[in-house]
Amino acid sequence: MFSTRGQPSGIVGHQTVWTRDRIMTEHDLIEQAKQGSADAIDALYRRHASRVYSVVRRLTGDDAQAEDAAQETWLRVMRSLPTFRGQAMFSTWLHRIAVNCALYGRRKRERNRLRELELPDSLPASVGGSRPLLRMRIEEAIDALPDGMRRVLVLHDVEGYTHEEIGELLGVAAGTCKSQLSKARAKLRAHLRQTVEGEEVCSI
Amino acid sequence: MQHLNDEELARLVDDEPTDEESAHLELCAACSSELDALRLQTETLRQLPDLEPPAHLAARLRAVMALEGLRLSSRHRMRSSLRIAASVALFAAGGLTGYLGRGAVAAEGAAAADRSPPTTLTEAAQRVEEAEARYTDALAAYARLGGSIPAADPVSRLAALEGIVLMTGAALDEAPADPVINGYHLTALEQRDAILRQLERRPAQESDDEQEWF
């Protein structure tokens, strides 16, 4: 199986791959992956799987759609790899494909009811540190945003895209994107305020 | 000046406030505190850690890549014994394969599995090569089976997928770590469950035929 963090997993022979993964440059891996090398493909997957999954999961706001988009991303990348000339960083190229797959993937499920569900009222009994809980609540609140707002918020505030880049991706004016971002931030804040009211993380 | 609304405050995370807004924020603790909270929220968003993909995604991806020929046969990575086990298991489930129209290939595979153990290293190596070839053929057969499942009739699809689930399940009993068979099994399970849900959602008047069929 792939191991997403490039760490030894206890599988016989995995250590060798892991060591090679660290020694080989990304350029080497790409060249070998172009030839269909299973080891090179595994190594590229280990290096980038969590980054790809993060962006598609947050953009889609849905586990099933995220899996479809992640799969489509990797398939598109592997199909297009022979034409990859390295003008852009592989990670940048991969990220762009992931964003496109998440936004315009072939399999568009009917937006499920989860999108409209209220966030859970109760919090875990033990808060522990506020940051992990805050992150968890933020992930839930991102999922609960309407599609358009979620996309703009994730692309700008999480992924660091500019309004101009987002506008180009979504086919809207940069000003529209900016206005959507303010709405998304405010809505996210309102969700968090409602969800964590009375708890430690309420201080945000 | 009235309090700043949520969207105005959200805009001020990036933009400079106007003189009027600035004056209000200096005097209004509520708005100032809310702006601080929005800034912290944005900072937290920028620092969100990456999410781990589910483990089954890797297996599914491997299977699809292998089918498309994007990923070469794992001959260099997978232990031969495991591949033989997978191959034997695949063809031991030949009855189901036959049900789905691949009887000839299945019978050939089952016969190969019944042969006596190799007596020399050369013979063993040859068996491995043969097993790998059958394994590849079996994967291609799965691909054809998947492609030949009728698209329009959910009941027929369900029956065909049920066969593939049983067949890959039997193969996994012998080769539980095989990523390709895992991928097929998970995909078939997923599609079968989706059709079951689809059938459950059908209005009663549409399902008369299916009830008789069952």
pLDDT at B71: 85
What is the CATH T-level fold of the domain A123-203, as seen in this structure? Answer: Arc Repressor Mutant, subunit A (1.10.10)
Q: Which of A41, A57, A185 sits opposite B41 (nearest CB)?
A: A185
CA distance A81 to A189: 41
Q: What confidence score (pLDDT) does residue B204 get? A: 46
Facing A79 at nearest CB: one of B50, B55, B70: B70
Nearest to A40 by CA among A54, A56, A24: A24
Q: Which of B3, B4, B6 to mutate to test the interface with A (most CBs of A within 10 A)?
A: B6
Nearest beta carbon to residue B53 from set A37, A53, A160: A53
CA distances from A140 to A58, A117, B6 (A): 10, 11, 20
Is the overall model pTM greater than 0.80, yes or no? no
What pLDDT does B214 receive? 24
ipTM of the complex: 0.75
CB pair distance less than 8 Å for B71 and A189: no
B197 and A CB contact within 8 Å: no
Chain B residues with CB-CB distance to A185 below 8 A? 10, 13, 38, 41-42
Q: At what angle do helices A174-195 and A130-144 cross, to 10 degrees?
A: 120
Q: Which of residues 98-117 of B touch A (CB under 8 A)?
A: none
Domain spans of chain B, in order of start: 6-46, 55-213
How much is the average pLDDT of B19-44?
94
For residue A170, give the amino acid letter.
L
A49/A42 Cα distance (integer angstroms): 10
Residue pair B67/A75 in contact (Cβ under 8 Å)? The answer is no
With 0-12 / 13-18 / 19 or more C-beta atoms within 10 angstroms meaning exposed / middle / buried, residue A50 is: middle
**Chosen from A162, A185, A194 to mutate, greatest number of chain B CBs within 10 A:** A185
The tens digit of pLDDT for each residue in B53-75 reads 999 999 889 888 887 888 875 44
For residues B42-65, one letter each, b for 16 or more C-beta atoms within 10 angstroms of the residue's C-beta and e for the rest, the string is bebbeebebbebeebbbbbbbbbb
pLDDT top residue among A194 and B185: A194
pLDDT at A153 over 60: yes
- How many whole angstroms separate alpha carbon A141 and alpha carbon A124? 16
Choose between B103 and B152: higher pLDDT: B152
* Domain residue extents for chain A: 14-104, 123-203
Residue showing tokens 């072939």: A106
Q: How many CA atoms lie within 13 A of B156 on its CB side?
A: 9
**Lowest pLDDT segment from A90-94, B45-49, B171-175:** B171-175
Chain B residues inside the 8 Å CB shell of A4: 52-53, 58
Which chain B residue has the Cα nearest residue A161?
Answer: B46
CATH 1.10.1740.10, domain A14-104, yes or no: yes
The pLDDT value recorded for residue A138 is 92
* Residue in B with minimal Cα distance to A45: B58
Give the percent of chain B with pLDDT over 70.
52
pLDDT tens string A55-100: 999 999 999 999 999 999 999 999 999 888 887 899 999 999 999 9
Check: CB of residue B93 under 8 Å from CB of residue B113: no
Q: Evaluate if residue B144 carries a pLDDT over 80.
A: no
Q: Check CB contact of B124 with chain A, cutoff 8 Å.
A: no
pLDDT at A32 exceeding the cut of 70: yes
